[in-house]
């Protein structure tokens, strides 16, 4: 709602200089489900640009999902100094309440329209057009042309 009111919400018709909020994570579950991990998801995680990164949430998320570097070994990111544990700061108490309310509203809204999206208490991943299968299939075909196996 905020992005739409500021004319910053990305649509297919007008993606330039817009924000596509497609992954929302809760600090209580930062690890991507093992059965959902792939080269495609690793790329999506590394391409994220956090809009709000309180307490280095994005870097803690990356550190909790270090498997992404197995898929994209040329990517370099120093996350060695990132503390995985959530800080004790109570300064975000009101923000946390607002986030919880908005997340619940979003989950209620999505229930009727859900297709490929992931919508749980701890993560929302908007993935209406899941390209992972096509991207991975095309990638595999390219590797086969060069006699590589994945």
Could you state, in chain order, the average pLDDT of each consecutive group of 10 residues for the chain (150 residues)?
Answer: 79 76 77 87 85 80 91 83 64 76 76 71 69 79 77
CA distance 26 to 121: 8
Coil, strand, or helix at residue 57? helix
Confidence (pLDDT) at 129: 64
Confidence (pLDDT) at 69: 92
CA distance 111 to 50: 25
Confidence (pLDDT) at 88: 52
CA 56, 61, 66, 68 dihedral sign is: negative
Confidence (pLDDT) at 150: 57
Q: Which residues, in sequence order, are CB contacts of 23 under 8 Å at separation 6+? A: 44, 45, 48, 123, 124, 125, 126
Phi, psi of 115 (to 5 degrees): -125, -90
């Amino acid at each position: 709602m905020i992005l739409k009111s500021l004319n910053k919400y990305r649509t297919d018709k007008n993606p330039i200089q817009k924000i596509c909020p497609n992954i929302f994570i809760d600090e209580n579950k930062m690890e991507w489900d093992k059965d959902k991990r792939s080269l495609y998801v690793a790329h999506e995680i590394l391409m994220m640009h956090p809009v709000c990164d309180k307490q280095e949430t994005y870097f803690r998320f990356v550190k909790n999902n270090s498997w992404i570097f197995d898929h994209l070994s040329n990517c370099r990111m120093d996350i060695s100094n990132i503390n995985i544990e959530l800080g004790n700061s109570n300064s975000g108490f009101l923000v946390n309440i607002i986030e919880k309310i908005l997340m619940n509203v979003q989950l209620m809204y999505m229930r009727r329209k859900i297709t490929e999206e992931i919508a749980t208490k701890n993560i929302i991943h908007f993935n209406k057009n899941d390209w992972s299968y096509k991207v991975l299939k095309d990638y595999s075909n390219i590797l086969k042309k060069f006699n590589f196996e994945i």
